[in-house]
A = this chain, B = another copy of it.
Amino acid sequence: MIDELHEECGVMGIFNGENIVKNLAMGLYALQHRGQESAGIAAADGEKVRVSKSMGLVADLAEEGRLESIAENCFAAVGHVRYSTTGSRTLANAQPMLVSCKWGYLAVAHNGNITNAHELRAEMEANGHIFQSTSDSEVLLHEISRTKADNLPNAIRIAVQKFKGSFCLIFLTADSMYVIRDGYGFRPLCFGKRNNSWVFASESCAFDLLGVDYVRDVAPGEFLSINKSGVRQEQLIKKERKAFCIFEFVYFARPDSIIFEQSADKIRRKMGKKLAEESPVDADIIIPCPDSSTTAALGYAQASGIQFEIGILRNHYVGRTFIDPSQNVREQKVKLKFNTINGVLKDKKVCLVDDSIVRGTTLKIICKMLREAGAKEVHIRIASSPVKCPCYFGMDFPSPSELVANALGTAEVAKMLGVESLGYLSVDGMRQCTGAPEDFCGACFDGIYPEDFCHAGKTRCGEAT
Which residues of A are in contact with B by a Cβ distance under 8 Å?
A: 19, 22, 25-26, 29-30, 32-33, 36, 57-59, 62-63, 91, 97-102, 106, 125-132, 141-142, 145-147, 205, 208-209, 254-256, 263, 265-266, 294-295, 298, 302, 307-310, 313, 315-322, 324, 335-336, 339-344
Contact A209 B57 (CB under 8 A): no
| A-B residue pairs in contact (CB < 8 Å), sample of 8 | A29-B322, A36-B317, A57-B317, A58-B317, A100-B132, A101-B129, A106-B130, A265-B341
Contact A335 B209 (CB under 8 A): yes
Q: How far is the CA of A320 from the CA of B58 in the complex (A)?
A: 11
Chain B residue, CB-CB nearest to A146: B128
Contact A125 B147 (CB under 8 A): no
Contact B316 A316 (CB under 8 A): yes
Contact B321 A59 (CB under 8 A): yes
Taking the nearest CB of chain B, how far is it from the CB of A257, in angstroms?
A: 9
Q: How far is the CA of A313 from the CA of B298 in the complex (A)?
A: 14
CB contacts (< 8 Å) of A131 on chain B: these are 99-101
CB contacts (< 8 Å) of A310 on chain B: these are 255, 294-295, 298
In the complex this chain forms, how many copies of it are found?
A: 4
Contact B99 A128 (CB under 8 A): no
CB contacts (< 8 Å) of A102 on chain B: these are 125-126, 128
Contact A32 B315 (CB under 8 A): yes
Taking the nearest CB of chain B, how far is it from the CB of A266, in angstroms?
A: 5
Q: How far is the CA of A132 from the CA of B298 in the complex (A)?
A: 49
Instruction: With A130-B100, A310-B255, A321-B63 as known contacts, state yes or no: A263 contacts B302, CB within 8 Å.
Output: no
Closest 3 CB pairs of A and B: A128-B146, A99-B130, A263-B343
Contact A344 B265 (CB under 8 A): yes
Contact B22 A335 (CB under 8 A): no
Q: How far is the CA of A122 from the CA of B97 in the complex (A)?
A: 20
Taking the nearest CB of chain B, how far is it from the CB of A91, in angstroms?
A: 7
CB contacts (< 8 Å) of A308 on chain B: these are 298, 308
Contact A141 B130 (CB under 8 A): yes
Instruction: With A317-B59, A319-B59, A320-B59 as known contacts, state yes or no: A298 contacts B309, CB within 8 Å.
Output: yes
Instruction: With A128-B146, A205-B339, A313-B254 as known contacts, state yes or no: A26 contacts B302, CB within 8 Å.
Output: no
Q: How far is the CA of A79 from the CA of B265 in the complex (A)?
A: 42
Instruction: With A22-B324, A266-B343, A309-B298 as known contacts, state yes or no: A132 contacts B98, CB within 8 Å.
Output: yes
Interface centre among A22, A130, A131, A339 (most CB of B within 10 A): A130
Contact B343 A313 (CB under 8 A): no
Contact B32 A317 (CB under 8 A): yes
